[in-house]
Amino acid sequence: MNIFSDIEPFMLRAFAVAVVMGPLCALLGVFVTARRMAFFSDTIAHGALAGIALGFLLGFEDPTWPMVLFSLLVAAAILWLKEHTDLLTDTIMALLLSGSVAFGIIVLSMLKNKRGELHRYLFGDILSVGPDDVWLAVLLCAAIGAWLFTKLSPLALLTASEDLAHVCGVRTRWLNYGFVLVLTVVVSLSIRLLGIILVTSLVVIPPAAARNLARNLRQQIILSLIIGLFGGAAGTVASYHWDIPCGPAIVMACIAVFIVSLVVSKLWLNKPAST
């Protein structure tokens, strides 16, 4: 008898998406944290709310594509405003984040039959992961994971110094755009599971926990992938067993690993703060 036969199909779908998106978010997160882009990731996640609302307004039953497209629009707006105005990056992101959320809430409140969707997208919903989402997650993970691994060296060099990367022949502008594109797509597609409010934690916490234990970038990447995988798997299982929301369960699983990593690094690895 199949060991999965007793498990609800929606749980299996959520589990599949979590174990695919968890490591992918964690791998991206290594570079997101080092490049101080956590707030950027948060802004594009919140930008998705406006995309979701617009999708419903335009009659989409499944607002995945409007959500991804609007997040990309927000990412492009951040880059454009950074290049063409004197505004601080934090100001630009705060503006777009609050603007997107305000727009999304207003539109959703006008659509009377969609008011319940706000809670679902803000906090994530294990039930909302459909069969198509699983295939999309698997295909994306394969494509983006492959791209990331081929670009690992230029990306590491770009993170160390954009100037050095340029002199070493890296096409820095295109790599920057590629990274933003990939991050936007991955973050917006992880919203189903984790919710807009918590999705950035899956990008930030696994690399931070890995950072506590690692001695070099290679170790941090490997540990981050493992922690992202564990957080995704443990969180969805805990969510199913204890009937608790999926997003917060994944985040708490990652935070538990972070606390353990912190204790281990202070008590056993004896790592000073500067390293």
Element (H, E) at 265: none
253 and 230 in contact (C-beta within 8 Å)?
Answer: yes
Count CA atoms within 13 Å of residue 29 on its CB side: 30
Cβ-proximal residues to 135 (8 Å cutoff; 6+ apart), any chain: none
Q: Which of 174, 189, 197 is nearest to 79 (CA)?
A: 174
Q: Contact with other proteins (CB under 8 A): which of 96, 214, 250, 254?
A: 214
Among 22, 23, 47, 154, binds other proteins (CB under 8 A): 154
Give dist(CA 157, CA 151) in Å, integer.
Answer: 10
Q: Whose Cβ is closer to other proteins: residue 34's or residue 264's?
A: 34
When asked if residue 161 is in the footprint of other proteins (CB under 8 A), the reply is yes
Q: Is 88 in the site for other proteins (CB under 8 A)?
A: no
Which residue, 120 or 151, has its beta carbon nearer to other proteins? 151
Number of Cβ atoms within 10 Å of the Cβ of 57: 15
Q: Are 97 and 50 in contact (CB under 8 A)?
A: no
Nearer to other proteins, 5 or 275 (CB): 275
Minimum Å gap between C-beta 34 and other proteins is 4
Rounded to the nearest whole angstrom, what is the least distance from the CB of residue 166 to other proteins in the complex?
Answer: 6
215 binds other proteins (CB under 8 A): yes
Contacting other proteins (CB under 8 A), which of 111, 164, 259, 269? 164
Q: Which residues contact 174 (CB under 8 A, 6 or more apart)?
A: none
Q: Does residue 152 belong to the site contacting other proteins (CB under 8 A)?
A: yes
Residue 91 interacting with other proteins (CB under 8 A): no
**Candidate segments 132-140, 188-196, 219-227, 250-258, binder of other proteins by CB under 8 A:** 219-227
Least Cα distance to 231 among 7, 85, 23, 4 occurs for: 23
- Which of 111, 132, 150, 241 binds other proteins (CB under 8 A)? It is 150
Among the listed residues 83, 82, 41, 38, the one whose alpha carbon sits nearest the alpha carbon of residue 185? 41
106 Cβ neighbours under 8 A, 6+ residues apart? 53
Stretch binding other proteins (CB under 8 A), from 2-10, 92-100, 188-196, 208-216: 208-216
Q: How far is the CB of 230 from other proteins (least distance, A)?
A: 20
User: Which residues would be at the binding site for other proteins (CB under 8 A)?
Assistant: 33-36, 149-154, 156-157, 159-161, 163-164, 166-169, 207-208, 211, 214-221, 274-275
